[in-house]
Structure 1
Amino acid sequence: MATLGARLDAVRDGEVEIVLPFSAALTQQHGFIHAGAVTTIVDTACGFAALTKMPDDAAVLTTEFKVNLMSPAKGERLRAKGRVVRAGKTLMVCLGEVFAETGGQSKQVALMTATMMVVNTGTGLKD
């Protein structure tokens, strides 16, 4: 997140918000924030939201996601909101949304559904 210039803006039980200020370094050929940056912040918001529902000794890994890019990502900043829809013992299903914000106005630009896996940090990851 530091490389992109994004920061955590809010952390609540099962919900996380990440803000990404506009940066010309993150734009694609038409001047919009690249879909890769949009996807990165919303995947991270979903992952951190899931982590709030996991045991203290757990870690999180994304196992699947789908992103709908609904409008060009342009504005002063992007706000990614991730929330847990279903918290299971092994898998968590999340919904993520990205909004472009300019001058107090907000427009949704992306929607994500994601599945996160609970990783027991005591046993580590296995191939």
Structure 2
Amino acid sequence: MSLVKADRNGIELEMPYDSRLIGNPETGVIHSGAITTLMDSCCGLAVFTRMEQLEACPTLDLRIDHMTTAQPDKPVRAFAEAYHITRSMVFTRGVAYQESRDQPIAHAVGTFMRIGQNSMKSMQERFQ
């Protein structure tokens, strides 16, 4: 995956087509698990576009509605935004697509738990 764009409005990632991601060898269609991973990553990164300071925010809940399959031999893009932030949670929504956001492959809604800055500091200390 690579970063296409990031700002306070959201984040956009691109996942290139790769034969290792194929779920059905007969059609060449990307496995839905790869799309789910793309959406989880995109929604998770969208959290940080709205945070004032870095803090741990693991995925608490992620719902993916797979609308159709991705076309073989084409990259898949994802866009996600953090649309509501509370003291303990961040709520995100996103879409995976190839040609246009108006022709979605999948929709995602994610909830991320804010653990806090102190947790980030203790994790950094643990791994130093």
**TM-score interval, normalised by the smaller of the two chains:** 0.7 to 0.9
Q: Which has the larger helix fraction?
A: 2
Higher Cα Rg, which structure: 2
Partner amino acid, structure 2, of 1:27? I
Structure 2, unaligned stretches of length 5 or more?
Answer: 124-128
Paired position in structure 1 for 2:126: none
Query: In structure 1, how many angstroms separate the alpha carbons of the residues matched to 2:19 and 2:54?
Result: 38
Paired position in structure 2 for 1:118: 114
Aligned counterparts, 1:1-127, within 5 A = 6-29=1-24, 30-75=27-72, 76-101=74-99, 107-123=103-119, 124=122
Q: TM-score, normalized by length of structure 1?
A: 0.83
Q: Which has the larger strand fraction?
A: 1
Structure 1, unaligned stretches of length 5 or more?
Answer: 1-5
Query: In structure 2, how many angstroms separate the alpha carbons of the residues matched to 1:27 and 1:11?
Result: 28
> Are the structure 2 counterparts of residues 71 and 90 from structure 1 closer, same or farther at C-alpha, using a change threshold of 3 Å?
same
Q: Percent identity?
A: 24
The structural deviation recorded for 1:107 is 3.1
Q: CA RMSD in A?
A: 2.1
- The number of residues matched between the two structures is 118
Q: TM-score, normalized by length of structure 2?
A: 0.82
**CA distances 1:6-48 after superposition (whole Å, capped 9, x unpaired):** 1111111140111011111101123211111101111111111
